[in-house]
Structure 1
Amino acid sequence: MECTFPVNGKLKFRDLSVSWEKKDELKKQVYVLLKGEEDFQSQHSDFRGRIKLLKEHLNLGQSLLQITNVKLRDAGFYRCLIGYGGADYKTINLKVKAPYRTITQLVVSTGDNMWKLMCQSEGYPQAAVIWQNRAHEDLTDKANTSYETGSDQLYRVTSTLTIKSRIDEIFYCIFWNKELRENTSAILHIADSADVVLWTESRRFVGAVLIVTAFIGSVLLSMLCIRKARANKGNRTPVTISSVTKPSKDKDTYDCRDAFEDGELKYMQIEKT
C-alpha cells in the first residue's frame, strides 16, 4: 500500500513521522515511524512480524507499506498519516484475493459403468463449479456442490458429479470466481483412473477365487478321507488284544494323504500355485 507526501530537497529523516492504522471496529495500529525511529510497542498482534516500511522510497516522498503472508482478515480500510513539516492522511481500501489455484481430483467407479467424479479446492470469495464433458456440454445440473468455511475464512468448495460413462472419456470441472472474473479448471480422465480401480477390483476377485478354491479343496479332501476310512473299516479283520505283540498302525487311523495318487497331488499343487 502506498501514500505520498511532498519532499522539498533532501529528506530530513529525523523530522519524519509515519503512521499506518487499520480501521476495524476498533482501531488497530499497523506501523509507526516516529521522528525517524520505528516503534513496534503499540503494533497490533494481527500484524506482528508481517509489516515492513520500504524506507528506501521515503526520499521520493513515498510511504510504501509491505504486508507479507497476507490473510483474508487483512482486507479492509487503512489510514496512512504523514507528519513532515505539516500533516496529511490518506485512506486506502485493501481487497484480498484467494484464487482457486489447486484442485484436488478423485475418480471412483461405482459399478455398471457409473462413475463418481469429485473436485475440491479452496479460495475466496465463493466460487461456482461448472461441469462439462468432452464435447463441452453443460452437466452442472447433475452435480452436487457444497461449501465450508475454515478458520482461515477460505471457502472449501467440494463438487461431485455422478454419471454413467464409458471408459476413455474426459470431463472438466471449472471453478468460476465471478467477483474476480477468474476461472481455474481441471481435467478428469476416466481411462487413467479406471486402470487403478479395475486393478484393485481384480486383486479382490483373485483373492476371493483363491479363498473359495482353498475351501472347496478342504471339503473334498475331508470327504475323501471319510470315504476311505469307512471302506477300510468294513474290510478289516478283528484281532484280540492278546494276539497283539507290538503297536501297529490301525486301519481306522488313516493318513489322508494316501487318498491321492501322485498325479492327483501334482494337480492340486498346480491349482494352489
Structure 2
Amino acid sequence: MGRLLFFYAFLFYCHFLNALFTVEAPQSLCIVERGNNVTMECTFPVNGKLEFRDLSVSWEKKDGLKQVYVLHKGKEDLKNQHIDFKGRIKLLKENLNLGRSLLQITDVKLRDAGVYRCVIAYGGADYKTIHLKVKAPYRIINQGVVSTGHNEWRLTCQSEGYPEAVVIWQNRNYEDLTYKANTRFETASDQLYLVTSTLTIKSGIDEIFYCTFWNKELQENTTAVLHIADSTDGILQTESRRFVGATLIATAFVGSVLLFLLCIRKGFQVILTGYKRTVENPASIRIYLP
C-alpha cells in the first residue's frame, strides 16, 4: 500500500513536471462476453529504446481500488494483487518496447465489469481510464411442452444470463400472451440469473408458440420456437401401448414355456415312480406273449 501511495504522489508530481508525457487509451470502452478473454490497452511515449528499469506500470480496478497488476521499475510485483484476479492476468510485455501496455484478463467474470485505471510512469507520468463491460446473453433456451389434458398445454422456457431478461410470449400470429405467463428469477453462479417462464394455454395440435428473452441493457434477444404437434402426446401414448403389448406377449410366452416345463417334469416324475416300483417289486413285471 505504501508503494502505491508513493506511486500516486510521484504521478501527481510528474504531471506538472513533464506535461509532454501523456498516456492514451485507444478504446475507452471494451465489451466482452462472459467466459471469453479480453485485452485492454493504453499507450505511452517511448522516444527511442525502452529502459525497463525506469518503467513502472500499474493497472487497477477503481471500485475498492483493487490492484490488478503492477510492474515496478521493470520488475513484476503481484504480492498485493487482488484475489479476484489471481491466475487470470497477464501483461503482454513484448509490446512495452512499442509504448503499448496491454493487459489481458482470461475467463472474464461478471464481477470483472467496471472502470480500470492504467497508470504509466516513465520519466513523466500519466493515466487513463477504461470501462470494461461484461455481457451474458440468454443464448441457450431450454424448452419443454407437456400436455395437461383436455387440450391444455404447459409450455416452459428456461435460460441463464445477465442482467434480468424480460420474457415475451407470442402465438403463431405474434399476438402477445405474456400476461398469461408466470416468470420467476433465481440467482445462479457468478451473478447470473436463472430465468424460468411458464405459459399454460389451451390449444389444438400443430400450433406454434414463441418465447423471447429480451435483454434490454444489451439490446439483445433470443427466441425459442415451441411446436405443439401430434407427436408431442402421440409418441408417449404409442410407446406406452407398445410397451404394454410387448409385456403381454412376453408374459404369455414365458407362461407357455413354464407350463410346458411343468408338464414335462410331471411326466418325468410319473415315469420315475413307475420305474422305482418295478425295481422294488420285480414280480410285478408281467410279460405278455402273443
Query: TM-score normalized by structure 1?
Result: 0.71
2:46 aligns to what? Answer: 7
Q: Which deviates the most, 114-123 or 49-58? A: 49-58
1:71 Cα deviation after fit: 0.7
The residue number in structure 2 matching 1:218 is none
Whole-angstrom distance in 2 between the partners of 1:57 and 1:136: 53
| 1:131-157 CA-partner distances (Å, limit 9, x unpaired) | 111111111111111111124101111
The structural deviation recorded for 1:98 is 0.7
Matches of 1:113 and 1:210 in 2, distance apart?
29
**Which residue, 117, 125, 135 being the options, matches 2:173?**
135
1:54 pairs, out of 81, 92, 106, with: 92
Corresponding letter in the other structure for 2:165: A
Structure 1 Cα separation of the partners of residues 51 and 126 of structure 2: 17
Q: Which residue of 2 aligns with 1:197?
A: 233
3-state SS, counterpart of residue 108 of structure 2: coil
Identity value in percent:
73
Shift of 1:202: 4.0
Aligned length: 213
For residue 39 of structure 1, report the CA deviation from its aligned partner.
2.1
**Which of 197, 201, 206 is equivalent to 1:163?**
201
Hey, what does 1:109 align to over in structure 2? 147
Report whether the alignment pairs 1:86 with 2:105.
no
- Which whole-Å CA distance do the structure 1 matches of 2:83 and 2:73 have between them? 23
Q: Is the 8 A contact 2:92 2:102 kept in 1?
A: yes
Amino acid at match of 1:12: E
Structure 1: any 5+ residue segments left out of the alignment? 213-273
Structure 1 counterpart of 2:103, from 60, 65, 75: 65
- Write the letter of the residue equivalent to 1:197: D
Matched, 1:36 2:74: yes
- 1:11 Cα offset (Å): 2.2
| Structure 2 residue 222 is the aligned partner of structure 1 residue 184 | yes
For residues 213 and 247 of structure 2, what CA distance do their matches in structure 1 show?
A: 46
Higher RCO (C-alpha 8 Å, min separation 6)? 2
- Deviations, residues 115-136 of structure 1 (Å, cap 9, x unaligned): 1111111111111011111111
Answer yes or no: is the 8 Å Cα contact 2:145–2:232 preserved in 1. no
| 1:96 aligned residue | 134
Structure 2 CA distance, aligned partners of 1:200 and 1:168?
Answer: 16
Q: Find the counterpart in structure 1 of residue 57 from structure 2.
A: 18
Secondary structure of the residue aligned to 2:190 is: coil
List per-residue Cα deviations over 1:160-201 (Å, max 9, x = no partner). 11111111111111111111111111111112xx52533223
In 2, Cα distance between equivalents of 1:58 and 1:158 = 48
User: 1:58, 1:170 → 2: CA distance?
Assistant: 57
Change (3 A) 1:211 1:5: closer
What's the Cα RMSD here?
Answer: 2.5
Which residue type is aligned with residue 182 of structure 2? N
1:147 aligned residue: 185
Counterpart Cα distance in 2 of 1:207 and 1:15: 80
* 1:36, distance to aligned residue in structure 2 (A): 2.1
Q: Which moved more, 1:7-16 or 1:149-158?
A: 7-16
2:111 alignment partner, SS class: helix
Whole-angstrom CA distance in 1 between matches of 2:121 and 2:247: 84
